[in-house]
Structure 1
């Protein structure tokens, strides 16, 4: 007898993550995978050598729940150097199994069922899942395309101040991602200043997902940590990731930085989610954070060149390309292309056609909206790949769409 899948009422409406779905389709069709955001090249030898050394040295048992002292100290030193704020590695850094766990531990450890949680939409799909697991009430603020500029140029995404003010009133937490997935937006100092003032006014905790902190491409739009603004350290958790900064996504190492009053909540959830993260990998992470600065610079240069080439190619094929100032994604309006092809409306129809006919996998970003129709005109492409991979994707797109 076959039994139907049993899933909780909170998670059943969310289904399978779009990344799993599109990566499986990419493999089935032999497509170049510009859907899921992982590099197709290896991480630094420095990290691997240190992890191997830790295994050989017998570091094979549970790590300290908050992270091995070596890694907590490396994270604290690196972030303090950038932010200009002191961080105590023992009480203000918590190592987690990827930033996704840091997000979950922050929400589950600090919010009660029914608490208001402000998010900017579109959002990384795990945000909504974590909110559902914790019973938080999501209050979404939309990131919408900016109006056309003069002179014409690629547009970014912006939010409405009034919408944010309404959402944050009565909320307990705001969950912010900058640089932003999927739009590539880097929140400006002015935008962060507004968010900070509203957090202070309404006594709101800020959880800032900064996994792409090192991946910004325009000196005029630098990454700014919300925790560095006046009055924000004491109410902010800053989340980071080894995988995004050092091309080690499979290691699943993240962290949360913040005052002891907030890390207490993170640790209360973390101890029951995973308790500890793989010990030898933490040794590898500490080594590359301490000594791998050149890796970040090389990666940034590669991704900037990939972004420029891919954006130019998409625009030449009729896509409306949005500006990507950070992270490693570009959003594009496909309606001109899908209309020319006679496709049914929607992001999924365009994504399916690209996989089947161009052999290039993209993400239909409706999955990042509460109402999938809000993302129906868009597709998201990841450019965190080798030069050869981006060139092959462009070649396939041109072969399928040019003329």
Structure 2
């Protein structure tokens, strides 16, 4: 299979002029310290529609002939490709229908409609939506716009790689969130053509990692199940077009845990002041879990920033737990005035912030004259958490259990 070449990516660059943003490259001191080198963030979360997807979608739609444009287009997506296709179609005057999973995040659903696409909800996951979109294409003659498995999509996404090279010519590694592989394939095609020494690394969620078994088998392998908070990269099977590019051009695939994805979002939010969705933070998660795999100067691509606020709340809490910022304690106190006040005063001295507290006299394990207290604290990190437990015990507080 012929790979997308540099000339095609340069042409995509010209086609996208005035359509997409040249997104900023932000230096990250905290990640640089963790990786013992220079680390930058490529902020595609600040792209129009909130992700890199507009690049490939616009290039793909712009390449349609008049007959194809008149028939309209159809796509399937968990959200970011949907928005990219919807906006690209609107800019080019093409009718668009988008199939999305029934549980697609509400902000992505609302944004896709706002860009002018007709949205139909179908199935629990992306595979059902893809099947419905392909059936719609067969029934109506609309052009099916695959989210990753097409040379024009890859060429459009490859413009991210060209921007990185222009913004940081000395880059040695580029780390890329990866689902179906369109983004990492395009970046690798752009970068390797001019700077073959630059390492391009794909990142997948451990619970939706189709690339390692596919590369081991020498062909796309389908996962029986994907279960990850990073819905934007939860793709069960690579496509043949992206597989050919990744197999030949990408230097390695890293997998990251759900805890690392949550921590990465929190790092982006707290330290970089950037709102990034779980899939978009996968490259940062890889730097946190696999710093030894990255040669600096390095660039982590933040591929998207579209996230449901309710999910954001849950992930922030999960990320704070993973980062050692929460401590839950169960203590036994004497049932007399001032006992609880004494505990709270001690916690105040230790600068631990009380988030939740429950006071009970009715536990079967309690003796007469005792109470049980369940308390959840916010701490400054693992060391502070250990200090709180240690000093409470030193002050003769009876800790029955602690969850760290």
Structure ranking higher in strand proportion: 2
Q: Which has the higher contact order (CA 8 A, sep 6+)?
A: 1
Who wins on radius of gyration, i.e. which is larger? 2
Q: TM-score, normalised by structure 1?
A: 0.27
Q: TM-score, normalised by structure 2?
A: 0.27
